[in-house]
């Protein structure tokens, strides 16, 4: 039977979510979940694959913007959830769903697509590349010693599930995310879940604490959200404090918040969740050996849909001139040739009929775009054609950034 790919009607959301939960091995309250997403999912951005009368696959996205190197932002489609029933694997369903949304993204004029991949080997086939990484960190409080630098400003505990607290945190986060490549704009529903204002449709509610750092003038310039578990070992405190999120607009604000969580009573271990691989905490404490890196993973995958606009929007930390041929199944003729010129005044990217210096798949370019993944590394898997000696090394250096891109928002 032929598979039909089309936009979902809100009346079909419950069945679509049943497909999602089946594929992701979960059993939430589908009625509550469907009711919640009915207000949030745009039918025009929700694609389903229908086999006869049954939904067999789902592909959803929502609009956001992403900060790119240099501080500019680009319109983006944040993709998720994406899934196919286990009974319908290897029938081209995911490819059909992705193609439908890819066309819609281009029609909407969104420059890039973003997603978190449940499995590493899937999305490279659809033009996405691993662009940011994240890691969990652990700090032994007794061994860490003092946080370097003199304390400044003040720390204040705020009521978590409170509109005023949400407003304060939103303002700080928005200022921060515009400074850091890879960060995206958050939806109001993200804040409702992060602060425990709303119970998650899958049945849990965040229960923790919020502390804000204020500068010497009393203005909020950082915050931390955390949960904790109190335990004892041989009658000694052995609690674990999990930092769900920590944001500082200045080094002093970040250090002040780190100092605060390390000094909370009854805590033996502080865990920093979903942080950059270049986490600053190890350098801010007196004993760097007290800070260890646990799991790390590929975080946000990037696909460039408007390659020319994306390349021109970001800034480059060194000058360069390069003719790139980008292979992209979704683009007209499956490829485009672009002249990229970067200098201190910015970047210019134009179509050209010149012979390319380098031919790269769009997935490799997406991986390298934010500056965190080395082009020379990702092309080991994706392939590359170097038409001029040294072109790959030049492109690798051109796209790299000193600061690691990072996304603190999971979607």
Task: Determine the average pLDDT of the residues in 224-241.
Answer: 87
Known catalytic residue at 223: no
Q: ω before 81 within 30° of 0 (cis)?
A: yes
- Work out the widest C-alpha separation in the chain, in whole angstroms: 74
Query: CA 114, 118, 121, 123 torsion: positive or negative?
Result: negative
In angstroms, the CA 82 to CA 97 distance is 9
Q: At what angle do helices 391-399 and 375-382 cross, to 10 degrees?
A: 120
pLDDT digits (tens, 9 = 90+) for 242-289: 999 999 999 999 999 999 999 999 999 999 999 999 999 999 999 999
In angstroms, the CA 117 to CA 358 distance is 28
Given this model, what pLDDT does residue 331 score?
Answer: 84
Residue 344's pLDDT band (boundaries 50, 70, 90)? Answer: confident
Q: Are 57 and 83 in contact (CB under 8 A)?
A: yes
- Partners of 211 in the β-ladder: 157, 224
- Is the whole model's pTM more than 0.85, yes or no? yes
pLDDT digits (tens, 9 = 90+) for 371-384: 999 999 999 999 99
Task: Determine the average pLDDT of the residues in 105-124.
Answer: 97
Task: Determine the average pLDDT of the residues in 83-111.
Answer: 96
Task: Determine the average pLDDT of the residues in 355-368.
Answer: 98
The domains of the chain, with CATH numbers, are 3-110 (3.40.630.30), 135-296 (3.40.630.30), 307-399 (3.30.1050.10)
Residue 1's pLDDT band (boundaries 50, 70, 90)? Answer: low
pLDDT digits (tens, 9 = 90+) for 9-43: 999 999 999 999 999 998 888 998 999 899 899 99
pLDDT > 70: percent of the chain: 99
Given this model, what pLDDT does residue 306 score?
Answer: 97
In angstroms, the CA 350 to CA 86 distance is 44
In angstroms, the CA 260 to CA 257 distance is 5
* Residue recorded with tokens 């210019």: 348
Given this model, what pLDDT does residue 233 score?
Answer: 77
Task: Determine the average pLDDT of the residues in 97-117.
Answer: 97
User: Across the chain, what does the average pLDDT equal?
Assistant: 96
Q: Taking the chain, what is the end-to-end CA distance rounded to the nearest angstrom?
A: 33
CA distances from 360 to 127, 129, 365, 391 (A): 11, 12, 7, 11
pLDDT digits (tens, 9 = 90+) for 129-142: 999 999 999 999 99
Known catalytic residue at 411: yes
Given this model, what pLDDT does residue 356 score?
Answer: 98
pLDDT digits (tens, 9 = 90+) for 177-222: 999 999 999 999 999 999 999 887 776 899 999 999 999 999 999 9
* Residue recorded with tokens 């489609």: 77
**Annotated catalytic residue, options 13, 173, 226, 411:** 411
**Annotated catalytic residue, options 5, 13, 123, 126:** 123
Given this model, what pLDDT does residue 236 score?
Answer: 74
């Amino acid at each position: 039977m032929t598979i039909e790919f089309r936009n979902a009607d809100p009346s079909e959301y419950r069945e679509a979510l049943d497909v999602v939960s089946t594929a992701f091995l979960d059993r939430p309250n589908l009625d509550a979940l469907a009711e919640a997403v009915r207000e949030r999912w745009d039918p025009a951005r929700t694609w389903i694959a229908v086999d006869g009368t049954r939904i067999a696959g789902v592909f959803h996205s929502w609009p956001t913007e992403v900060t790119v190197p240099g501080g500019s932002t680009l319109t983006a489609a944040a993709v998720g959830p994406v899934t196919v029933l286990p009974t319908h694997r290897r029938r081209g369903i995911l490819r059909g769903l992705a193609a439908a949304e890819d066309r819609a993204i281009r029609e909407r004029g969104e420059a890039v697509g973003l997603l978190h991949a449940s499995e590493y080997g899937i999305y490279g086939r659809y033009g996405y590349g691993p662009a940011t990484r994240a890691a969990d960190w652990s700090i032994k409080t007794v061994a860490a010693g003092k946080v370097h630098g003199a304390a400044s400003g003040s720390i204040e505990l705020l009521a978590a599930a409170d509109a005023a607290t949400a407003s304060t945190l939103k303002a700080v986060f928005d200022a921060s995310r515009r400074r850091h490549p890879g960060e995206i704009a958050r939806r109001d529903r993200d804040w409702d879940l992060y602060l425990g204002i709303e119970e998650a449709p899958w049945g849990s509610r965040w229960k923790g604490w919020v502390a804000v750092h204020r500068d010497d003038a009393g203005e909020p310039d950082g915050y931390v959200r955390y949960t904790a578990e109190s335990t004892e070992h041989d009658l000694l405190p052995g609690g674990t404090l999990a930092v769900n999120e920590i944001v500082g607009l200045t080094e002093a604000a970040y250090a002040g918040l780190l100092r605060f969580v390390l000094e909370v009573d009854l805590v033996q271990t502080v865990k920093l969740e979903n942080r950059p691989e270049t986490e600053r905490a190890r350098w801010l404490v007196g004993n760097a050996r007290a800070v260890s890196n646990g799991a790390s993973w590929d975080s946000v995958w990037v696909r460039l849909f408007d390659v020319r606009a994306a390349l021109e929007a970001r800034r480059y930390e060194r000058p360069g001139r390069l003719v790139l041929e980008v292979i992209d199944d979704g683009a007209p003729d499956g490829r485009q040739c672009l002249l990229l010129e970067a200098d201190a005044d910015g970047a210019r990217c134009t179509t050209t009929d010149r012979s390319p210096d380098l031919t790269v798949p769009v997935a490799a370019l997406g991986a390298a775009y934010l500056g965190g993944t080395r082009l020379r590394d990702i092309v080991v898997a994706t392939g590359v054609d170097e038409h001029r000696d040294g072109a790959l090394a030049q492109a690798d250096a051109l796209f790299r950034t000193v600061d690691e891109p990072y996304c603190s928002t999971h979607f």
